[in-house]
Amino acid sequence: MKLDGAVAIVSGGASGLGAATVRRLVAGGARAVIADRDEARGSELARELGPGVVFAKTDVSKADEVQAALDAASALGPVRVSVSCAGVGWAKRTLDKEGAPHDLEMFRTVIEINLVGTFNMLRLAAATMARGDADESGERGVIVNTASVAAFDGQIGQIAYASSKAGVAGMTLPAARDLAPVGIRVLTIAPGIFETPMLGLLPDEARQGLLKNVVFPKRLGTPADYASLVAHIVDNSYLNGETIRIDAALRMPPK
């Protein structure tokens, strides 16, 4: 898939992995819609990147808001790339030290945003892409979702987050198979420990504890590392139906 001249939509595009992805795709010649709930950051990034980038205030769990963002993307040209980076985290054990069970509404909220929201973006982006013309190879678009190594190595206290991200990884292959007839590829990226706003909420001691399990290179991942993989996925038309770990050989311990 050629990035130059394409239109991309990035959920969670106002900060972290999403913002880096918007920058990378625009640098490659794409126009973009930043779909995010953070109006201040999203609008600022759109102004910085110029007239080929617009902000659309979007809650990914709401169908009408996602569709409005996709309509804004379609106004810029053929929508070829959709990247889902919107997500939340929550640390809570199934039973706490006093024996109280995990809050059910919080579990539902994490699933609603991380899994249902990702599927909502996927299904509506696919419908938009399917109405477009195929390129010379028969391809109409690329959808990239974001899971986490927690989908496979979920730690103590990550049951809601790990469940949501395992769901994202699990729908990758069936989505790719569903959308093959219309020429849309679907892939998922599973980041390890990355420098993101979510990680920034942890105390430094906890951050250093996570870093010791990274194999090589011995550093945290950067949003630019993630964005570079997105750009490669777009470019490499033989990649499809796979969840790709980007984690410097990290395997998360129980805690």
* Distance, CA of 161 to CA of 148 (rounded, Å): 9
| 161 in active site | yes
* Distance, CA of 120 to CA of 137 (rounded, Å): 27
Choosing from 55, 107, 119, 161, the catalytic residue is: 161
Burial annotation 67-80 (CB, 10 A radius, 16+ → b, else e): bbbbebbbebebbb
DSSP code at position 1: -
- Of 153, 166, 69, 64, residue with least CA distance to 115: 166
- Outline where 98-180 has alpha helix (H): 104-111, 117-130, 150-153, 159-170, 172-179
CB 70 within 8 Å of CB 128? yes
CB 167 within 8 Å of CB 182? no
Tokens of 22: 């918007």
- What is the set of active-site residues? 161
